[in-house]
Chain A
Amino acid sequence: MSRRLGAVILVLAAALLGLVWSAAPQSPPLYDGLANCSGPYKYLNPPAGLGPQHRNPTSGSTVEHVKNGKFTESVVQTKQAPARAPQALIQLGDGAVNLPSGITTVRLTVRPVPPPAPISNGVLDGNVYLFRAIGNDGSSLTLDPKIGGLLQLKKTGQELSARMELYRGGKWVPQSTLSFVNACYLATDARSFGYYALIAPSHESAFLTRYLPLLIAAIIILVLVITALVAIRLSRRVPTVEEAG
């Protein structure tokens, strides 16, 4: 009986899993786990009260040789200490960088920079990172928007509702952001190089999101306590005549 019921429940659960995955394919992909980010976030301008371990963020660069006039796949990421995740990286596929004639090498760089303009639509969560591609003649190269690249920025862990934004045309523009319930970074399908940052909503809502887990935990505990009290009360009720007999 239990085995048959188990099989029925497995079928129902599989159908429900398929439904949830198809309805929300980008998040959350895994149901549980522990974010595998280690080490403190390093700020260009650390918030007050943070120690020296939160200072001196790193940059990164790599040089790629052009093969047959075409850019080949590459990754550039900030340098990190052993057992530490990079704070910023971009993965580029074959042909992702537009190459004018005569370009033989491409230097890809990523570095933390001050915000190019004040952020009026939220709170900066971490550093602004400038991603660039530079040809051997010193010219700035562009990303082919049809191919793009996968860009990842590490979360500081201080703002739960941050999203990826790109500084373009004098303002910060929200990007389609891939979020993963137990990953320590956010990702976007970048269509251009430039200034990228994680930006959270205003301080007021950031305050709410910071304490939201505590609030939800308190509500859950309260519900479970009430359930417990009701269950204990019901289990100790006086038996009816039929039950006593």
Chain B
Amino acid sequence: MSRALSASTPVLLLLGLASAVGLRVAIGAPSVAESQGAGLVFAGALALVLVAAGWRPGPPHPSSILVGLAGAAVLVAGPLWLHLTSGLTEQAMPLTSFPGWALLIVLIAGTEEMVLRGALFDSCGRVVGPAGAVAVTSIAFALIHVPLYGPAAIPLDLAVGMWLGGLRLLTGSAAAPATAHIAADLCGWWLL
């Protein structure tokens, strides 16, 4: 691959990511984080970015799934502690709406991970090395969530982006961060 093409791939992926975020915000504002329609469009746009990039996920190795689940346990530890200490013991939402919500979570978190820790990580790694890939994908992960949760979420999302990037490096596969991301998001049903 030529140097120009090699360098432009992550840039084009970042542009695709930014466009998907812009679409999500335009559809979901002002309650972007609560708009299921905007979330679905976002996941669809990310899937298009993956198709355009020609990235195909390999079959997940069972050990990557296990590492991902352990990674999710760490991500959930803080919210679980808060949940137990704040007395939030009653889940306000009825269980009947869980399947639809969970499916959307899997789609959004899954496509996010395939773009960030899959296609973008691979292409960044070729240009700036693995540490640089972790840095770029962590910053991108934090930035795409700012329109949803505000700048206050940047430190936490940076840390989580690093954690997911570390899982990617440790296992050599996007399956581990994808599993961690999806599992931790799903736990949010019981933790909020």
A residues whose Cβ falls under 8 Å from a Cβ of B = 2-3, 5-10, 12-14, 16-21, 23-38, 75, 77, 80, 82-86, 89, 91, 93, 150, 152, 154, 157-158, 160, 178, 180-185, 187, 189, 209-214, 216-218, 220-221, 224-225, 227-228, 231-232, 234-236
Contacts and interface: CB of A to CB of B under 8 A. Distances in A.
A232 B94 contact: no
18 contacts: A2-B172, A3-B172, A16-B158, A17-B160, A18-B78, A24-B152, A30-B79, A32-B145, A34-B104, A38-B97, A91-B89, A150-B90, A158-B31, A182-B188, A189-B87, A217-B21, A220-B147, A224-B18
A30 B31 CA distance: 17
Contacts of A180: 192
Contacts of B92: 77, 85-86, 89, 152, 154, 185
Contacts of B158: 16
A43 to B, nearest CB: 16
Interface string B17-48: 11101100110011111101001000000000
B93 interface: yes
Interface residues of B, number: 84
Chain B interface, DSSP helix/strand/loop, else mixed = helix
B79 A225 contact: no
Contact of A210 (B18, B30, B160): B30
Contact of A6 (B31, B79, B167): B167
A150 B83 CA distance: 12
Nearest to B160: A31
Minimum-distance CB pairs A-B, first 3: A6-B169, A6-B170, A157-B31
Interface string B73-92: 01100110111001111101
A3 B170 contact: yes
Interface of B: 3-4, 6-8, 10-12, 14-15, 17-19, 21-22, 25-26, 29-34, 36, 39, 74-75, 78-79, 81-83, 86-90, 92-94, 96-97, 101, 104-105, 108-109, 130-131, 134, 143-153, 155-160, 162-163, 165-172, 181, 184-185, 188-189, 191-192
Contacts of A182: 33-34, 148-149, 188, 192
B11 to A, nearest CB: 4
Given A9-B162, A32-B181, A152-B92, A232 B8 contact: yes
A77 B86 CA distance: 19
A37 B160 contact: no
Contacts of A209: 30
A17 B159 contact: yes
Nearest to A1: B130
